[in-house]
Amino acid sequence: MMHAAFYPGWLTNSWGNGDIRPFTLAITTARQTAIDRLMAEAAMLGAHGVVNCRVEVRYPEWGAGLSEFTAFGTAVAFEGQPAPARPFMGGMTAEDTLALFRAGYIPLTLSFSTTAYYVMTTWQANYSENSWTNQEVPDFSRAVYEARDFVVGGLRAQAREVAADGVLGAEWHMTVDEIEVERPAMGGWGGGYGSGYGMGYGTMQSFRDHIIHLTVIGTAVGRLDGKHPAPAVRPVVNLADHALDLNAGPVESGETLANTEGAPVEP
pLDDT recorded at residue 252: 46
pLDDT recorded at residue 129: 65
Among 24, 112, 110, 39, smallest CA distance to 75 is for 39
> Given a cut of 90, is residue 182 above it in pLDDT?
no
Look up residue 58 and give its amino acid. R
The answer to whether 77 and 83 have CB atoms below 8 angstroms apart is yes
Q: What percent of the chain has pLDDT over 70?
A: 67
| Mean per-residue pLDDT, 182-203 | 52
Instruction: Give the DSSP letter of residue 241.
Output: G
Q: For the whole prediction, is pTM greater than 0.85?
A: no
Q: 73-98, pLDDT tens digit by residue?
A: 999 988 888 888 889 999 999 889 98
> Given a cut of 60, is residue 187 above it in pLDDT?
no
> Given a cut of 80, is residue 102 above it in pLDDT?
yes
Return the minimum-mean-pLDDT range out of 148-152, 185-189, 262-266: 262-266
Domain boundaries, given as residue ranges, for the chain:
2-233, 234-267
Among 110, 113, 90, 94, smallest CA distance to 102 is for 94
Q: 109-139, pLDDT tens digit by residue?
A: 999 999 999 988 876 766 666 667 777 778 8
Residues 173, 179, 183, 186: what is their CA dihedral angle, to the nearest 10 degrees?
60
